[in-house]
Structure 1
């Protein structure tokens, strides 16, 4: 077993920071953090434990921010197919954190996605959340993209903020990406504007083989014909936007995020797109939490190839490396070798499947298993202090 030490820090110094993402389908990030902390405290009650649940901008971002001290607020908004849903967002001072999936996500569909919902789904609820936050005093919005049900290029979000998307006869277009094929004019005179930072790890452009419709449309119920229709709608939206705004962002990395909501944020709200975990760590002042720490525990439901492409555990490890604090990872399952994680600053990795081989039991009993895993981690990496 690898013994972890942090740079110039003494082995007997400081606290343990517990900073996991959610275990999707099982536990939220705050729940994962609480169970890991409980196991550590049971094993080593003499060592302070600080929990900092994290997220990468997708599902669970609002939960993580509320756990970090933001106020959790709720409001009724337009769901992805016009259904009313109650969506949450987080605020602290003049900063709001909004999660697209809360208002416009696949989980907000009343039923399973279909070809019809793929064509008509809207991001309007995300715009409703932004409007509510701004009217409530927000002067800066962090917008997490992920898990969307829509492929409307963010048109619905813009209409909720006051823009008008019109056809050749001056009529307002109905919701959804397919209707954008008839777009002729975009009227921005009544649109609310606010500085936006987009939290997303997606680097897809708006159009083409790697674009929003081709890559993500099938996940939202689109077949071959619907993907082609959505592609035409997004292409028309990009063409009219270029004409109206005088600049083109359709090829920018991240424009295809969340069914093209990244495009609307870039083109119409002047947004910057940054890795979600970096933004979230800034929002929770993670660097301050690391000061004097002896160890960081991070993780997510599955440690796999996707983890290595900037997911939450890698972002946490990068931040900890700057502070010379060693990092361990926990997960429900681990599909990559520990050696693949070490170049990213993760010294060792543990999984629930290490102690319970049945994946269904891991899902249903994740909390208790995490506490057992934390006890094992304490024995492997903290109890050694007693013999020093």
Structure 2
């Protein structure tokens, strides 16, 4: 029996020495970036598995952290742009320009919900005007390729603010100019249409501070705008997948500027050669701020899950807030867990240093096992 035990220990040691762990997380919105989350996890995993190879791939599906994640994968030059937030308060946001000349925009840097204090959120007033200012800066730089991350917006104005900013900068002809001369790709994890039972206001209005009557008003506004745009162009993209992204910004981009929609996570996963990195991986650790059944509707963790399962690689999921764990496990995650103790106040959990410590603690208790390890 001692010999068998010694052999088992020897075999497990060989397994651990050949471990390859991939960290592929989204940001924990309003708390820490994907890079910060992965560093906290990596530092703890190095203690648990000192011989393991750990690959860190900070990611985003188009919302908060999009610009940083993109520039981590592809070298970029950052440009500061003076613009306005969703309440028209002056802010300085950044654009990124990669080596090919493609301009990268994160809409949340201008109209992001996390830029607005909770007691100041006024969704009926909130505007996407700042996103138009970022686009105008990109056009002035001569951009012919633009990738826009959509998500995390405080606005639900169907992109009207963005369109107004462009019109004030270049005149009415700017819409046709962009449609014919500029290729815009939208990065998002949202498939919702502009209005209706699954529309931008009905599904996302509450988290932006809208009450029941405000949601009804926003939905009526969206439908009215779509009908007017149909008369103007002769076509209607309001029910297209992603039209409801970022409070209807997706619709304005597609209807007025000829943009096309892609999964934001897939754009970065492809750029990072994620499928190739999965070869020989023991397991993947992914994460996001809040995980529930909506995670399965195309958010970054489930996109990672689908790619990893094709390679037979287990995927573990951590989150700041976890609900409907059984549905996530049924979908195929090897484990799902919250990094926060159940009795921890939200205000404490959202402190960056606390979140990093909680991730580190989670790394020592997650149920990684020999089945996650391939020699």
Segment drifting more, 103-112 vs 152-161: 103-112
Partner of 1:375: 364
What TM-score, normalized to structure 1? 0.78
**How far off is 1:335 after superposition?**
2.6
Structure 2 CA distance, aligned partners of 1:197 and 1:68?
A: 18
Q: Secondary structure at the match of 1:210?
A: coil
SS of 2:238's equivalent?
Answer: coil
Q: C-alpha separation between the residues in 2 aligned to 1:160 and 1:302? A: 33
| Cα RMSD for the two superposed structures | 3.3
In 1, Cα distance between equivalents of 2:219 and 2:343: 42
User: Aligned to 1:325, what secondary structure does the other structure show?
Assistant: coil
Name the structure 1 match of 2:63: 58
Any idea what SS the aligned residue of 1:368 has? helix
Q: State how far apart, in whole Å, the 2-side matches of 1:334 and 1:61 are.
A: 22
Matched, 1:101 2:100: no
> What is the CA–CA distance in structure 2 between the aligned matches of 1:95 and 1:288, rounded to whole Å?
24
Contact 1:77 1:86 survives alignment (8 Å): yes
Deviation per CA, 1:7-45: give whole Å up to 9, x if none: xxx986462111111223432211110011111112222
In the TM superposition, residue 190 of structure 1 has moved relative to its aligned partner by: 7.0
Partner of 2:165: 160
Find the aligned partners of 2:372 and 2:119 in 1 and give their Cα distance. Answer: 51
Which structure 2 segments of 5+ residues have no match?
Answer: 1-14
Q: CA deviation at 1:223?
A: 5.1
Cross-structure match for 1:293 = 281
> Which of 276, 294, 297 is 1:309 aligned to?
297
Aligned counterparts of 2:173 and 2:372: Cα–Cα separation in 1: 66
Secondary structure, aligned partner of 2:24: strand
* Distance in structure 2 (CA, Å) of the matches to 1:375 and 1:81: 43
Task: For residue 268 of structure 1, give the secondary structure of its aligned residue in structure 2.
Answer: helix
- Aligned equivalents of 1:220, 1:380: Cα separation in 2: 37
Query: Distance between the aligned counterparts of 2:165 and 2:177, measured in 1?
Result: 8
1:210-253 Cα offsets, whole Å, 9 max, x none, are 33344444544555665555445433432332222221112223
* 1:44 correspondence with 2:29: no
Contact 1:29-1:53 within 8 A present in 2 as well: yes
Contact 2:178 2:257 in 1 (8 A): no
2:267 is matched with: 279
3-state SS of paired residue (2:87): coil
Corresponding residue of 2:238: 250
1:235 counterpart = 2:223? yes
1:300 and 1:330 in contact (8 A); partners too: yes
Matches within 5 A, 1:122-133: 122-133=127-138
Q: Which runs of 5+ in 1 are unaligned?
A: 1-9, 166-171, 173-185
Matched, 1:267 2:255: yes
User: In the alignment, what sits opposite 2:92?
Assistant: 86
Normalising to structure 2: TM-score of the pair? Answer: 0.80
1:293 CA displacement: 2.4
Q: Which residue of 1 aligns with 2:331?
A: 344
Looking at structure 1, the residues matched to 270 and 74 of structure 2 have their Cα atoms a distance apart, in angstroms, of 13
| Segment drifting more, 22-31 vs 312-321 | 22-31
Q: Following the alignment from structure 2 to structure 1, what is the Cα–Cα distance between the partners of residues 68 and 38?
A: 12
- Residue deviations 1:172-206 (CA, integer Å, cap 9, x gap): 9xxxxxxxxxxxxx655675442222222333322
Greater Cα offset, 73-82 or 254-263: 73-82
Q: Within 5 A, what are the aligned runs for 1:118-157?
A: 118-136=123-141, 138-157=143-162
